[in-house]
Amino acid sequence: MSASISYEFFPPRSLDASFKLWDTVNALQHTAPDFVSVTYGAGGTTRELTHEAVETIGKRTGLDVAAHLTCVDASREETLSIADRYADAGVSHIVALRGDPPKGAGQFTARPDGFQSSVELIEALAETGKFDLSVGAYPETHPDAVDPKGNVEWLKRKIDAGASRAITQFFFDADHFFRFRDDCADAGITAPILPGILPVQSWRGVKRFASACGTTIPTHLANAFETAERDGRTELLATAVATQLCTKLLDQDVDHLHFYTLNDPKLTRDVVHALGLAPEAALENVA
């Protein structure tokens, strides 16, 4: 099996969290990811932290680091000046998103002087000619989508606006991804669609997150995790589940896996090693 990989991190908000992020980067960089990315806090809350994390990881590791950027709570001018700062710092890969409002603020509402949608943001960033752009995609249909067809058509608009690839929301059933990939191909989308893999670190957290973003949890998986939690075997099960999901994807010609690490390297590293995707040298770095 061969495939390239990438990792998502989030920016740290405390000294302890900074150490965790750094440990995660160190543990995973030996697996030779194609790129890594750093999220932008909901509601635009981590602007400076994201910037600092992107720059520091890039400078210290030489990895290709993508910066997430959203339209939330910023004027067009502010958003483009953040992008400009990235370009000046040599960061050329941006994950361009509409974003979600801060907790409890309900639906996304664009600022009158801000980008009204992800498509507008992508168009403006593409126009600068400075960035390689990734966007989000939703195999199980985004909760704001009118229907699955509209969900795919909107992704097509984002790609046509200048994005080079899409990274999906996490899912547990490979068939959802395959169906979505087929629908995208039928709609004329030729850009790569990278599946987002979430190794389950906290079952309770995943249940909450899945319900918010519309990811289906198969009954057999829910039962298995409830039992594993009771018996203190969640990590083992999580590694097996993520490895099996990735194997199904790789068997059907998926050639890139994007891991949501949640700034904890253990499960992701085990899955990448179990799949045989890390270079030999990486195995020497298993702590």
Residues in touch with ligand FAD (CB under 6 A): 39-40, 42, 68, 70, 95, 97-100, 117-118, 136, 138, 142, 144-145, 150-151, 154, 167, 169, 196
Classified as helix, coil or strand, 89 is: coil
Cβ distance to ligand FAD smaller for residue 174 or 198? 198
Closest CA to 61 of 9, 125, 132, 133: 9
Query: Tokens standing for 109?
Result: 């509402």
Q: Supply the minimum distance, in Å, between the C-beta of residue 153 and ligand FAD.
A: 7
Tell the smallest beta-carbon distance from residue 183 to ligand FAD (Å). Answer: 12
Q: Cα-Cα-Cα-Cα dihedral of 199, 201, 207, 213, to 10°?
A: -50
What is the spatial distance between Cα 246 and Cα 276, in angstroms, rounded to a whole number?
11
Residues 256-278 as b or e (16 or more Cβ within 10 Å = b): bbbbbbbbbbbbbbbbbbbbebb
**Residue number with CB closer to ligand FAD (78 or 229):** 78
Residue 111 Cβ, how far from ligand FAD at the closest point, in Å?
15
Dmax (CA) for the chain in angstroms is: 54
**Cβ-Cβ contacts under 8 Å for 4 (sequence gap 6 or more):** 33, 34, 255, 256, 257
Which positions are annotated as active-site residues? Answer: 8
Least distance in angstroms from the C-beta of 231 to ligand FAD: 32
* Cα separation, 271 vs 259, whole angstroms: 10
User: Nearer to ligand FAD by C-beta: 68 or 256?
Assistant: 68
Looking at the Cβ atoms of 58 and 99, the one nearer to ligand FAD is: 99
